[in-house]
Structure 1
Amino acid sequence: MPLKVCVLVGSLRPGSINRSLAEALIRLPDAAEHEYHFADIGSLPLYTEEHDESPPETVVALRELVKSSDALLFVSPEYNRSIPGVLKNAIDYGSRPYGESVWKGKPSAVIGTSISPIGTALGQSHLRIVLAYLDVPLMDQPEAYIQWKDDLVADDHTISEASREFLNGWMKAFLGFAGHHKGVMTPS
């Protein structure tokens, strides 16, 4: 049974390498049969408690997308060795009001790419801490710290031959983890 996956990209930049990676990941052979929806986190206002009672439409849309999804795929750059502000803002909106978090129990995976040799390792670490606090089941292994190379993702959203097997295996592991957590069997 196909899974509905909410994809959260932590970069708003046109031509974002993390958006390119996300687009390519969902087109890999072991990922293609599932349904993917990209969350619009760029249109969210900055979080304030005043919005808890009467959230803006963009916040309602984010919360509904996450609630209706079977799993979450976080694809994010690392800013100053941490989580991009726009992604943290979206996470904060989804966790409020207190006791009504939409993140709780959603099986998830974290990945990202950077020109750095360690990819987004520290940003992923910080994101994992936040998600663990919110009771989000996270795929622990395999980890993926991807160093961006100009040939990693082609214009047609295909992943280079050098990285395709590893990233297809990573997506297969994530979807298996999500399916197992949701009680949905995915092909092994």
Structure 2
Amino acid sequence: MAKNIAVLVGSLRKDSYNRKIANEMIRLAEGKLNMEIIEIGNLPLYSEDLDENPPLQWTAFRQKIQSADGILVVSPEYNRTIPGALKNAIDVGSRPYGSSVWPGKPGAVVTSSVSSLGGLAANHHIRQAFVFVDVPLMQQPEAYIGNSSKIFGEDGKTVVPDTEKFLQTFVDAFQKWVEKF
């Protein structure tokens, strides 16, 4: 039976290249993994003051992550680090203290950038945050997708065959990683 994967997209932009990459990976995983994008842009900023009576958006997000068999993050790099909405989502899921929804869920990280570096710094910062909340991350293959503005056509489909091939390799490796758990 296919595992359920929560996909977090770090970019909130409507025409985000990262959302397009996530959608391409969802397509490539069809029949292998049930992948669903879990929206993070509607999450109120985390504040411990709200833990006793959490916003409904927090509760719904935590339930979706709790019920997932694994986590896939597809994110850009903002100012050489994690986008604020993604960091907030990680924080919301990790609280209140002792009630984190993250521990033990196998995960993977894909970053992309319009530059040639492919979000390298963000990838490592995301990994650092997930190590702390006890998400075992797939080590190989690593995914830093550079020049992301040049890999999609008007229809949002991958137009660079090598990119599609790489994403398929990544999805297949991630499926094996998730099945180990």
Give TM-score, length-normalised by structure 1. 0.91
Aligned-partner residue type, residue 24 of structure 1: E
In structure 2, what is the Cα distance between the partners aligned to 1:11 and 1:43? 12
Deviations 1:105-153 (A, max 9, x none): 1100000211111101100101101100111100011101101344423
Give the CA deviation at 1:165.
1.5
In structure 2, what is the Cα distance between the partners aligned to 1:70 and 1:104? 11
1:166 aligned to 2:161? no
Aligned partner of 1:5 in structure 2 is 5
SS in 2 for 1:73: strand
Alignment of 1:12-91 (within 5 A): 12-28=12-28, 31-33=29-31, 34-91=33-90
In structure 2, what is the Cα distance between the partners aligned to 1:59 and 1:72? 17
Aligned-partner residue type, residue 103 of structure 2: K
Q: More relative contact order in 1 or in 2 (CA 8 Å, sep 6+)?
A: 1
Deviations 1:31-51 (A, max 9, x none): 111212211211111110012
Determine if contact 2:69/2:105 at 8 Å carries over to the other structure: yes
Aligned partner of 1:137 in structure 2 is 136
Aligned partner of 1:186 in structure 2 is none
Give the CA deviation at 1:158.
3.9
SS in 2 for 1:26: helix
Aligned length: 179
Aligned partner of 2:119 in structure 1 is 120
In structure 1, what is the Cα distance between the partners aligned to 2:159 and 2:65? 27
In structure 1, what is the Cα distance between the partners aligned to 2:53 and 2:36? 25
List alignment gaps of at least 5 residues for structure 1.
Answer: 182-188
Q: Note the aligned Cα RMSD (angstroms).
A: 1.2
Distance verdict in 2 for CA 1:156–1:82, change over 3 Å: closer
SS in 2 for 1:142: coil
Give the CA deviation at 1:156.
5.0
In structure 2, what is the Cα distance between the partners aligned to 1:35 and 1:157? 19
Aligned partner of 2:106 in structure 1 is 107
List alignment gaps of at least 5 residues for structure 2.
Answer: none
